[in-house]
């Protein structure tokens, strides 16, 4: 049996394949929807770049989501995107890479047929309905084994595009498979050594086909009924949560054609308030793996703050958008176990405040904080857009909002959007390359940045006492993404967030808006992930600038 050792270059190759799989899960439904509306024909017949206005007119599509879709193709190198400064309009032209890819667009329509099954793959594998999955799985395995009948090419550019397309198409099965097998503890079991199919719980016929799919990636090997992970497979299994967030948005991708060309205002939640277009439990599971890395940097800031003289420490910590309370529980443990304040909690109790708009999230946070035996805590309704209401609610509980350290984890980009009142369009020079939409309508970048500045400015008066600690997600300019597709998951992030009315701006744009809003980042506590121009995640500790 091979050892589990793997070189850095081999790890990079696994990550590159994962990034292509993630991109595929947003590009497959996008390309299929655009192909159905003959958008690629528009590019082929025009000698000049095709304007977004023309595409909207010809397809009767929803402008905001079409802008997201076309920017995605620019980010994967298929389109050149031109911004017309005078009109704030965009135009697009196929690149040489895009002409090669467009010839394979019908394959994307074929791969998208698995999407409805992929959404419920865990139920199919570990529930009672595995038989109904088998025909679809057999087809997808056969297509992947045949490399989707994509011809071999001697031309290096064609060969590169064909390989990327193949990975996109495989992503529709590999991504959901990795998530289902990880959440079902199958990958964990295989991490301990070879097993036979009879040792797995669930529908073994479907699970066996999952193993075949992973074997085609070079991540599994099998001999009759005995299966094991290859060294590359061990590494892929270790980072399987990387697939979780994108897979959680497959319900959204399943209605993408409607969002692009139909009713963009389809319901996002049901009558109970449960989300319809994202599997939130899977989303939290997927993000949890990566968050451990970011939390280590957050811990450094928390330790410094709560090792200060007690008079210079906050009374407690308030997490707006607390979700399931994981971050609050973690931060309480850091203070308790790693700081001077932790040794004096009996004399100086640490107040923990969780605020969230979602009733279910509040209930889960209450249970978590209670189980963690955190004595001084409150869990209250909270709206990221209404810091004044938070201050009022805390005051009613006998606490001053200014006496708390405020933290937020990947929330600012997910704020509910409202157009900035009395804003003269075009009066700000927007610098973000992002594509922004609200219920299908386009939000120009200057308007989005004005909204972000005003949002942050509302918070500045309430975080002046002890600061604001923010973890945030970012986009990258399309040309940078296109040049680094093997090194960044930006295409997937832009697709899932752009189609779900979330607003990712580049890290420099975010910091610029913070400064304009009166928030100053402490240079000692600025972290980027990865620490390069490809940073899509940041940690910043802000204090309010005295004016």
pLDDT for 255-271, tens place per residue?
A: 999 999 999 999 998 88
Contacts of 314 (CB under 8 A, 6+ apart): 305, 403, 404, 405, 465, 466
> Could you report the per-residue pLDDT of 157-208, keeping only the tens digit for each?
999 999 999 999 999 999 999 999 999 999 999 999 999 988 998 888 899 9
pLDDT of the residue at 545: 84
Cβ–Cβ < 8 Å for 493, 504: yes
For 466, phi and psi rounded to 5 degrees? Answer: -135, 5
Is 1's pLDDT higher than 60?
Answer: no
CATH homologous superfamily, domain 280-412+456-473+505-544: Vaccinia Virus protein VP39 (3.40.50.150)
| Greater pLDDT, 442 or 85 | 442
Residue 489: pLDDT band (50, 70, 90) is very high
- Structural contact between residues 78 and 95, judged by C-beta atoms closer than 8 angstroms: yes
Give the mean model confidence (pLDDT) for residues 66-89.
91
Average pLDDT over residues 37-63: 95
- Give residues with Cβ within 8 angstroms of 220, minimum separation 6: 190, 211, 214, 227, 228, 229, 230, 233
For 422, other C-beta atoms within 10 Å of its C-beta total: 5
Give the chain's mean pLDDT.
94
How many other C-beta atoms lie within 10 A of the C-beta of residue 178? 28
Q: Which SS3 state, helix, strand or coil, does residue 260 take?
A: helix
pLDDT in tens, 125-159: 988 666 688 899 999 999 999 999 998 888 999 99
In contact, 474 and 490? CB cutoff 8 Å:
no
Q: 13 by DSSP, 3-state: which?
A: helix
H helices of 37-155, in order, are 39-45, 52-59, 63-75, 96-102, 105-111, 115-119, 121-126, 134-145
CB 314 within 8 Å of CB 466: yes
Element (DSSP H or E) covering residue 338? helix 326-338
pLDDT at 86 over 70: no
- Bridge partners (DSSP) listed for residue 470: 408, 540
What burial letters (b/e) apply to 437-462, b meaning 16+ CB within 10 Å?
bbebbbbbbbbbbbbbbbbbeebbeb
Q: Which of 285, 239, 315, 537 is nearest to 410 (CA)?
A: 537
Per-residue pLDDT, 215: 97
Establish whether the linkage from the previous residue to 69 is cis, with ω within 30° of 0: no
Q: Which residues neighbour 92 within 8 Å (Cβ) at sequence distance 6 or greater? A: 43, 49, 50, 52, 55, 70, 73, 74, 79, 80, 81, 82
- In the prediction, which pLDDT does 130 show? 61
What mean pLDDT is predicted for residues 520-527? Answer: 95
Where residue 2 falls among pLDDT bands split at 50, 70, 90?
very low
Band (99; pLDDT cuts 50, 70, 90): very high
Domain range list for the chain = 8-261, 280-412+456-473+505-544
- Between 22-26, 195-199, 230-234, 405-409, the lowest mean confidence (pLDDT) is in 195-199
If we measure between CA atoms, which residue out of 471, 500, 451 comes closest to residue 326?
A: 471
**pLDDT at 338 > cutoff 90:** yes
> From its phi and psi, is residue 179 left (phi > 0), alpha (psi between -120 and 50) or beta?
alpha
Task: Give CA torsion, residues 233, 237, 241, 244, to 10 deg.
Answer: 60
Q: How many Cα atoms sit within 13 Å of 420 on the Cβ side?
A: 22
Confidence bin at 496 (pLDDT 50/70/90): very high
The H-or-E segment that residue 214 falls in is helix 204-216
Q: Which residues fall within 8 angstroms of residue 467, CB to CB, at 6 or more apart?
A: 305, 405, 406, 522, 541, 542, 543, 544
Q: Name which of 283-297, 345-359, 469-483 the model is least confident about.
A: 283-297
Q: What is the pLDDT of residue 478?
A: 98
Assign 93 a pLDDT band (cuts: 50, 70, 90). Answer: very high
Question: 288-332: per-residue pLDDT in tens?
Answer: 777 788 989 999 999 999 999 999 999 999 999 998 899 999 999
């Amino acid at each position: 049996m091979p050892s589990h050792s793997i070189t850095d270059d081999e790890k990079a190759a696994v990550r590159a394949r994962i990034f292509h799989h993630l991109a595929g899960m947003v590009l497959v439904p996008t390309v299929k929807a655009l192909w159905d509306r003959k958008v690629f024909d528009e590019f082929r017949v025009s000698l000049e770049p095709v304007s977004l206005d023309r595409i909207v007119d010809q397809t009767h599509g929803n402008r905001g989501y079409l802008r997201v879709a076309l920017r995605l193709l620019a980010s994967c190198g298929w389109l050149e995107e031109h911004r017309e400064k005078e009109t704030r309009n965009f135009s697009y032209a196929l690149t040489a890479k895009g002409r090669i890819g467009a010839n394979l667009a019908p394959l994307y329509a074929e791969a998208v047929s698995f999407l409805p099954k992929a959404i419920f793959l865990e139920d199919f594998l570990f529930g009672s309905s595995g038989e109904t999955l088998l025909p679809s799985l057999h087809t997808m395995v056969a297509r992947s084994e045949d490399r989707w009948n994509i011809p071999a090419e001697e031309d290096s550019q064609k060969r590169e595009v064909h390989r990327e397309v193949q990975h996109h198409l495989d992503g529709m099965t590999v991504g959901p498979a990795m998530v289902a097998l990880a959440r079902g503890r199958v990958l964990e079991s295989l991490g301990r050594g070879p097993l036979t199919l009879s040792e797995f719980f669930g529908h073994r016929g479907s699970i066996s086909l999952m193993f075949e799919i992973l074997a085609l990636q070079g991540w599994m090997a099998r001999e009759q009924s005995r299966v094991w992970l290859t060294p590359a497979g061990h590494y892929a299994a270790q980072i399987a949560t990387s697939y979780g967030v994108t897979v959680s948005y497959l319900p959204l991708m399943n209605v993408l054609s409607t969002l692009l060309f139909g009713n963009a205002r389809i319901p996002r939640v049901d009558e109970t308030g449960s989300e319809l277009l994202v599997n939130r439990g899977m989303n939290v599971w997927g993000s949890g793996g990566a968050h451990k890395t970011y939390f280590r940097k957050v811990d450094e800031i928390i330790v410094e703050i709560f090792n200060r003289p007690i008079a210079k420490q906050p009374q407690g910590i308030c997490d707006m958008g607390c979700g399931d309370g994981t971050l609050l529980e973690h931060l309480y443990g850091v203070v308790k176990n790693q700081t001077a304040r932790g040794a004096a909690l009996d004399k100086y109790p640490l107040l923990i405040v969780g605020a969230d708009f979602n009733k279910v999230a509040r209930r889960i946070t209450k249970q978590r904080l209670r189980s963690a035996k955190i004595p001084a805590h409150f869990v209250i309704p909270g709206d990221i857009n209404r810091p004044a209401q938070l201050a009022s609610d805390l005051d009613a509980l006998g606490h001053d909002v200014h006496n708390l350290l405020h933290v937020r984890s990947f929330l600012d980009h997910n704020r509910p959007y409202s157009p900035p009142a009395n804003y003269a369009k075009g009066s700000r020079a927007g610098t973000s390359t992002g594509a922004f939409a609200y219920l299908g309508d386009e939000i120009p970048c200057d308007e989005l940045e004005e909204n972000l500045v005003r949002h942050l400015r509302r918070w500045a008066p309430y975080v002046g006492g002890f600061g604001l600690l923010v973890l945030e997600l970012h986009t990258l300019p399309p040309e940078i993404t296109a040049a680094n597709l093997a090194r960044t998951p930006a295409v997937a992030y832009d697709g899932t967030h752009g189609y779900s009315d979330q607003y990712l701006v580049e890290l420099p744009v975010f910091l610029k808006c913070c400064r304009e809003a009166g928030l100053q980042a402490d240079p000692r506590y600025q972290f980027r992930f990865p620490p390069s121009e490809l940073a899509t995640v940041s940690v910043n500790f802000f204090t309010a600038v005295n004016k």
